[in-house]
Structure 1
Amino acid sequence: MDGSIAPRSKYERNSELPILPLGKAQHEIMEEEEQRIREASRLNQAKAQRQKADEQEVIRLEKEQNLQ
């Protein structure tokens, strides 16, 4: 053995490439992933807005109780 790397079999899979679902092109997979990221971002933003509104409501109620 001379230390060189054996040539790949023409049937050996390149492990660096992702396995794509049948019938889907790489750009379709990327578009779906981007859509999931946008949706998750939108949901996180809505959750943060609800949490902020809840915190403001608590502050308002505490102030109202202190005035009584």
Structure 2
Amino acid sequence: MKSETRNALLKAYSQLEQIVSDLYDAADAAVEMGDFEDASLLQTRADILYEQMENLDFVISELEE
């Protein structure tokens, strides 16, 4: 794999990691405020992006071998 490709994938992974963290934090805050509908939406979106992060991690690992 070219270093540019690897760097782009690692950057995307890092950015997703921050987004997922922000969404989980927002979901926690929504729960604390009693806004369970928004909390559920935020949690679901975070879960979906977390799954994409795991997939991206797998791709990066496979391409590095």
Q: In the TM superposition, what are the counterparts of 1:1-68 in structure 2 within 5 Å?
A: 24-57=1-34
Larger RCO, structure (CA 8 Å, separation 6 or more):
2
What is the TM-score when the length of structure 1 is the normalising length? 0.48
- Percent identity of paired positions between Structure 1 and Structure 2: 6
Structure 1 or 2: more helix by fraction:
2
Bigger radius of gyration:
1
- Aligned residue pairs total 35
TM-score (norm 2): 0.51
Which residue type is aligned with residue 18 of structure 2? S
* Runs of at least 4 residues off by over 6 Å: none
Q: Which runs of 5+ in 1 are unaligned?
A: 1-23, 59-68
Two-structure CA RMSD over aligned residues (Å): 1.4
- 1:13-33 deviation digits (Å, cap 9, x = unpaired): xxxxxxxxxxx1011100000
